[in-house]
């Protein structure tokens, strides 16, 4: 399950931009029903080609889970994309995107 947020302008001064809100407490996540959570887990287990026994173990471990941030589940940051817009030395507009993928 993933969640993508809108672009936000970063305030900065003298070429320094402070990035905040990437810690676990401030991450936004999608609301999901228990059925959606089980369905997503089933897809992930099949994508990783796990055995039926392992799939059953995973489904049993989330039997009482009602939200995506409830243990044994957790909300983690997987990737961040920064969009950089500006003008070059010749006055032409440019746009670049920098993506950082974080290991699981």
59-102: pLDDT as tens digits? 899 889 998 888 888 888 888 899 999 999 999 999 999 999 98
Q: What pLDDT does residue 53 have?
A: 92
Rg (CA), the chain: 19
Label residue 1 by pLDDT band (50, 70, 90).
low
What is the model's pLDDT at position 95?
95
């Amino acid at each position: 399950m993933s969640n993508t947020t809108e672009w936000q302008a970063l305030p900065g001064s003298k070429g320094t931009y402070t990035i905040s809100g990437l810690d676990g407490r401030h991450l936004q996540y999608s609301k999901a029903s228990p059925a959606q959570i089980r369905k997503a887990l089933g897809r992930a287990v099949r994508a990783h080609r796990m055995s039926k026994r392992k799939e059953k173990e995973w489904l049993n471990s989330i039997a009482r889970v009602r939200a995506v941030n409830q243990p044994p589940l957790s909300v983690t940051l997987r990737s961040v994309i920064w969009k950089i817009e500006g003008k070059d030395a010749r006055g032409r507009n440019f746009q670049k995107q920098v993506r950082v993928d974080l290991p699981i």
